[in-house]
Amino acid sequence: MSILLFLIPAALLLGLLGLAAFMWSLRSGQYDDLEGAAERILFDDEDEPEEDGKN
């Protein structure tokens, strides 16, 4: 059962990574305009939403 000592922290770490990614995407304004995001995928050029702090 000692394998659990590696597996549980590994599972949690992966989960936390996912959570951190979600928090980052939320902070960088990716949830502010869901309709627009659906359309922007058609554009070729790169663009990024506005950061929270600059609002």
Partner 1 sequence: MTELAAGIRERAGIDPDIFVRETPEGEARLDLVVEGMHCAGCLRKVEGALKSLPGVEYARANLSTKRVAVRWQPTKLRADAIIRALADTGFTAVPFDPKLLGTFDENEGRFLLRSLGVAGFASANIMLISVSVWSGLVTDMDETTRSLFHWVSALIALPTVAYAGQPFFRSALKAIRGGRMNMDVPIALAVILATTMSLVQTIVNAHHVYFDASVTLLFFLLIGRYLDVQARAKACSAAENLLGLRATAATLIAPDGSHRSVPVEHLEPGMKVLVASGARIPADGEVTSGVSEIDTSLVTGESMPATVKRGDDVFAGTLNLGAPLTVTVTKRDDDSLLAEIVRLMESAEQGRARYVRIADRAARFYSPAVHLMAAATLILWFSLGAHWETALTNAIAVLIITCPCALGLAVPVVQVVATGRLIRQGVLVKAADGLERLAQVDTIVFDKTGTLTLGEPRLVNGDEIPADALALGAALASSSRHPLSLALADYARSLPAQGAAPAFTDITEVPGMGMEAQLDGRLIRLGNAGFTGAEANTAHGGSEIWLAQEGAAPVCFRFEDTPRPDAKKVIAALKERGFAIELLSGDREPAVRQLADDLGITTWHAAARPDAKIARLEELAKKGHKVAMVGDGLNDAPALRAAHVSLSPADAADASQTAADFIFQGVPLAPIVETVDVARKSRRLVFENFGLALIYNAIAVPLAVAGYVTPLIAAIAMSSSSIIVIVNSLRLNRRKKAQRDAQASAPRHATA
Cα dihedral 23, 55, 31, 21, rounded to 10, equals -20
Q: Which of 23, 28, 30, 46 binds partner 1 (CB under 8 A)?
A: 23
Residue 22 CB, shortest distance to partner 1, in Å, is 5
Per CB under 8 A, does 49 bind partner 1? yes
* Interaction between residue 3 and partner 1 (CB under 8 A): no
Retrieve residue 39's tokens.
């359309």
Q: Which of 3, 4, 6, 46 binds partner 1 (CB under 8 A)?
A: 4
Q: CA-to-CA distance for 17 and 20, rounded, in angstroms?
A: 5
